[in-house]
Structure formats: C-alpha cells, structure tokens
Amino acid sequence: MDTPIVEMARISKRFGDLQALAEVDLTVHKGDIHALVGENGAGKTTLMNILYGLYRPDAGTIRVRGTEAHIAGPRDAIALGIGMIHQHFMLVPPLTVAENVVLGDERGGPVLDTRGIEARVAELEKRFGIQAEPRAKIEDVPLGIQQRVEILKVLYRGSEILIFDEPTAVLTPQEVDDLFHIVRTLRDEGKTVILITHKLREVMAVSDHVTVLREGRNAAHLVTKETDPRAIAVAMVGRELRDIRVRPGNVGPAVLEITSLSAESDRGGLALKGVDVEVHAGEVVGIAGVGGNGQSELAQCILGLRKVTGGVIKVGGSDVAHDDPRRTRQRGVAYVPEDRRAEGLVLPFTLADNFILGRQDQPPYARRGILQGRVIRREGERLAKEFDVRPPDPDVEVGTLSGGNQQKVVLGREISESPRLIVANQPTRGLDIAATEYVHERLLEQRSRGCAILLISSELDEILDLSDRIAVMFEGRIVAVLPAAEATEERLGLLMAGHVEGVPA
C-alpha cells in the first residue's frame, strides 16, 4: 500500500473543559474523495482546522506525504499543498473573479498583470472543468459561482489537498450537482479532497472513503461502496434511528385557506403572485422550492408580519390577511421561524423568559401587568424537561445553548399552547441528525393531534418524509400540488427548477 498523503494520528484537542477531540485518527490517500462526517460538535471542523494550522493539537502527530509536519498556521499548510474552502466565502465583492483568485498571491511587480492573471485563471478553469467568468464581478455572480472562485483560489496556490467545509450548505440542488462534478474532476486530475459534511446523501453520492466522528472520537472508518446510509447514520448518532415516515392520518376540515395571495418582497418587487394553498386539520402540506421563491414571504403573510397586497388568508374560516401577529396568534397560529437566532428567540433572555415570549401579559404569567416570576420559572423548568432542553435550567441564557436545544425552546413554546396551525419555516436548518429527528417527531405528534402544518423546507428529504401533500413553489407561485405518494425527488427537482409539467420544455 502506498504512503497516505495525510496521516493524522491520535490527535487530541481540549477547549476549556470541553474535550473537542480525543485521540482521533484520520488517514487519507492520494486521489481520494474522503468524507469526514459527524453530528454537530463531533469535532470535524476542529480536526480540519488543526490540519490547516488554525489550531495547534494538544497531542498527536500529523504526517503529510509520509513526513512529520508541524503546521503552525495556514501559511505552513499552504506550503504543504493543503487548501481550505471555507463555509463562509472570503471574497471581495467589487473585484472580479480573476482578481479574487490571485488576491494575496499577486505575482510579479506592483502593477497587476491583468491579462496574464486572467489567462492563468482561464487555464485553471479549463483544466478542472470549473466555469466562472474571470471578468465578472463577485457581487454579480450567484453563490454557486462564488464557491467556484474559492476553489480556484485554492488551486491557484498549488494545493494538492483540498478541504471543503460543509460546501453544500448554501447551494441549490442544481449547484450541488455541479459542485460534485467539479469535485470528481479534481480527483481525476490527481487532487485529494476532504469533504466535511453531515448530509448522508452527499457522502454516498461523491465520496470514496468515510471517516465518522462522534463526540470527538473515531466512530467508524468505512469504504463508501461497501456501506449504506443507514450504517453511517448509526455510526454518527451512536444508536439505531427511529423510522420517521408519515402514515396516512385522519384529515379534517380546512384550517388554512389561502386564495390568490399576493405580497411584495423587501426589495419592492412582487414576491407572491397569486398563491393558492389549503391545509387541513391533521395534514402536513410541504412547500418545496429553492430558497427565495417566496416561501418566507408566504409564512410572513400568514403570521401578519408582511403586508398583504391582495388575496385572502383564512384561518378556521375567518380572514386574517390584515391582522397583526398578535391577533393571528390568538386564532391558534404557531410559527417556527426560519432564523431561530434572530426571529425565534431573544438570545440574551433566559430559557424561562423565552418560553413566555408572546404570552408575557397573559395569565398565569402575568396578572394586572405584573410578571409572576415564580410561575414563569416553574413553567420554564417544566417545559425545558418536557422538551428535553439541555441543560434544563430555566435561568440559562438561551444564546449559550446549542442550535438543537435552541430549536427545542422555539418548538416547545409554539406547540405547548396546542395550536391549530403551525407554520414551520426550515425547522431543521443547521440541526444534526438527532435534533432533526426530534423536531420531526414532535411535528408529526402535532399532526396526529389534529393540527394543520404548513412545512416550508428546501430539504427534499424532509418534505418527502413528513408531507401528506407537497406544493412546489417557483417564482412566487405554487406551480404544482402533488399527493406525497406521487412525488419523487426527480419530479420535484424539475418542478422546483421551473419546468411546468405537461408543457414540453
């Protein structure tokens, strides 16, 4: 067997009293696509930050091409041919693609040789099959192209080993396919790729080997061809997964009826151009769509957070289109917002205080305008236990909780009042497998209680797993509504991309 290109042995790293990594091994061979997977907090990014020189390990050795390496900073890593494509792009928006690629590594004299640079960048693009117009400005190109610029930057510096940190988090499904095509080309050209992710589908689609971390330790090392998603998930979570699949339930009368709803976006254009959708009691209607096609505006209109310019929104038979959030909520509408940190929670508030947000002036939490501190604390403690928030301490600041626990607080608050309609916008974004599973179970529990659920998600798996019916949204309209049994990933994917069924493209 040849010498591995990267060999990290018994790496340990401690932050305060948190053991982030405990004797972790990682072996990557040249010309491989190696997936590094694990739940949030498993230590994936920490391990890669060590390889890239952003952290020093407390213990352990790193060998690159068989020689022991002491990587004190990214400069050392780059010299060893290691490059990192960060989750958050580090590009200068007013500069061109080519200028961004050479930024920080401008060869030659003080005058930029624009033509030479563009030629070199074009050459890289050709060799690795990466298309990104070198003269376009970064601010004018979509996220998928910006990511390609990050890749080109790393290649331009001569990297042989490319680390991708959760590269698909910000991409549309189409862009993800394109990215994987590029990643395969990189491998075929002899580069080595390390892919940090927690999405099993991506692991199966593109990787050759998989290293699974769990709670800072090695949990498994697998060959992708010889394993299946279930085995990887079990290694990640450390237990068997429960089977969450929606079973046909008892569908009741319509709770939410939306007819020809229109509304403007923040930028002034029309975000909703006549949306019609209905959700019945005991039913989950999934809204599938690429982000930015009006889904968030739809949720905001239902809640009364956005001005409705036309159409009707009925909840339980009464028109709420022009109600404010308070009145809408009084009709039994609950909301799990897209951005839990900005919209779902008041981060500096305590757990108990966040549980009463929106009910701060109602008994038993307040009497004659005076807060009932003891009741609030006691309720906070009870709800924290009921919804398994860790730690179940009513006085803890929610800003210090993990994403999964924060979402439990939001969800707990919203469903503890037994709503008749839940509008959930991207309820599992950024959550790991265990927390996602928890959110899904709770939502389905509400469905079997007879609650109507409007689920907005850009994760097709989530839509397919939970929905009774699926509505596809494209450019401010619902372009199709399918029963879940008739929906396939391919069909939804096409609809999401704007292909209207029955009309030849």
Partner 1 sequence: MRQPSFDWTQGPAIPVVSVLFALVLGGLFVWISGHDPIQAYAALFRGAFGSPYDVSETLVIAVPLLLAGLSVAVAFRAGLFNIGAQGQLLVGAVAAGWVGALWPDLPGILLLPLTLAAGVLGGAAYGGIAGWLKAARGVNEVITTIMQNYTIVFVMHWLLQNGPMQAPNAFGTPASAPIGAGAILPIVLPDFLVPSSRLHAGIVLALLATLGFWFLLWRTSLGYELRAVGLGMRAAAQAGIDPRKRMVIVMAIAGGFAGLAGMIQVSGLFHRVYDGFSAGFGFDAIAVALLGKNTPVGVLLSALLFAAFSRGGTLMQSDAEISSHLVEIVEALVLFVIAAETVVRAVARRWGRPVKAAS
SS3 100: helix
| CB nearer to partner 1: pick between 17 and 240 | 17
Based on CB atoms, which residue is closest to partner 1, 126 or 327? 327
Nearer to partner 1, 7 or 165 (CB): 165
CB 85 within 8 A of CB 162: yes
Q: How far is the CB of 350 from partner 1 (least distance, A)?
A: 11
Distance CA 234, CA 91 (A): 37
The DSSP bridge partners found for residue 37 are 197, 212
Helix (H, G, I), strand (E, B) or coil at 217: strand
Tokens read off for 152: 């080109």
Q: Report in angstroms how near the CB of residue 358 gets to partner 1 at its nearest.
A: 3
DSSP letter for each residue of 247-289 = ------SEEEEEEEEEEE-TTSSEEEEEEEEEEETT-EEEEE-
CB-nearer residue toward partner 1: 324 or 441: 324
Nearer residue to partner 1 within complex by CB, 340 or 469:
340
Nearer to partner 1, 47 or 263 (CB): 47
Closest approach, Cβ 228 to partner 1, in A, equals 23
Determine whether 71 is exposed, middle or buried from the number of CB atoms within 10 Å of its CB (0-12, 13-18, 19+): buried
Cβ count near 124 (within 10 Å): 17
Q: Are 138 and 91 in contact (CB under 8 A)?
A: yes
Helix 229-237 / helix 433-449 crossing angle, nearest 10 deg: 100
In terms of CB distance, is 148 or 306 closer to partner 1? 306
Strands of 365-476 (E only): list them: 366-367, 370-371, 421-425, 452-457, 469-474
| Cβ closest to partner 1, residue 242 vs residue 390 | 390
How many of the other CB atoms lie within 10 Å of CB of 454?
Answer: 27
Query: Residue 105 and residue 101: Cα distance in Å, rounded?
Result: 8
Radius of gyration of the chain (CA): 25
C-alpha 209/C-alpha 30 separation (Å) is 12
Are the C-beta atoms of residues 262 and 310 closer than 8 Å to each other? yes
Closest separation between CB of residue 326 and partner 1, Å? 3
Minimum distance from CB of 151 to partner 1 (Å)?
A: 20
- Min. distance of Cβ 20 from partner 1 in angstroms? 4
- Closest separation between CB of residue 455 and partner 1, Å? 17
Residue with smaller CB distance to partner 1, 79 or 357: 357
Minimum Å gap between C-beta 27 and partner 1 is: 18
CB 398 within 8 A of CB 347: yes
**Rounded to an integer, what distance in angstroms lies between the CA atom of residue 124 and that of residue 129?**
8
User: Nearest approach, Cβ of 341 to partner 1 (angstroms)?
Assistant: 9
Comparison of 44 and 191: residue with beta carbon closer to partner 1 = 44
Cβ proximity to partner 1: between 255 and 352 the closer is 352
Of the candidates 457, 464, 496, 503, the residue with the CA atom closest to the CA atom of residue 480: 496
Cβ nearer to partner 1, comparing 234 with 366: 366
Q: 3-class SS at 136? A: coil
In the complex, the smallest distance separating the C-beta of residue 162 from partner 1, rounded to whole angstroms, is 17
Q: Given the complex with partner 1, which of 345 and 496 has the nearer CB atom?
A: 345
Mutual angle of helices 114-128 and 143-156, in 10-degree steps: 100
Where does this chain bind partner 1 (CB under 8 A)?
A: 15-18, 20, 38, 40-48, 196, 213, 303, 305, 324-329, 335, 337, 339, 342-349, 353, 356-358, 360-361, 366, 369-371, 373, 390-391, 396, 400-402, 405
Q: Is 161 exposed, middle or buried (0-12, 13-18, 19+ CB in 10 A)?
A: buried
Burial of 8 (0-12, 13-18, 19+ CB in 10 A): buried
Order of strands, sheet of 477-483, starting from the edge strand that comes earlier in the sequence: 333-336, 421-425, 452-457, 284-288, 469-474, 477-483
Closest distance to partner 1 from the beta carbon of 325 (Å): 5
Q: How far is the CB of 133 from partner 1 (least distance, A)?
A: 33
Question: Closest separation between CB of residue 466 and partner 1, Å?
Answer: 22
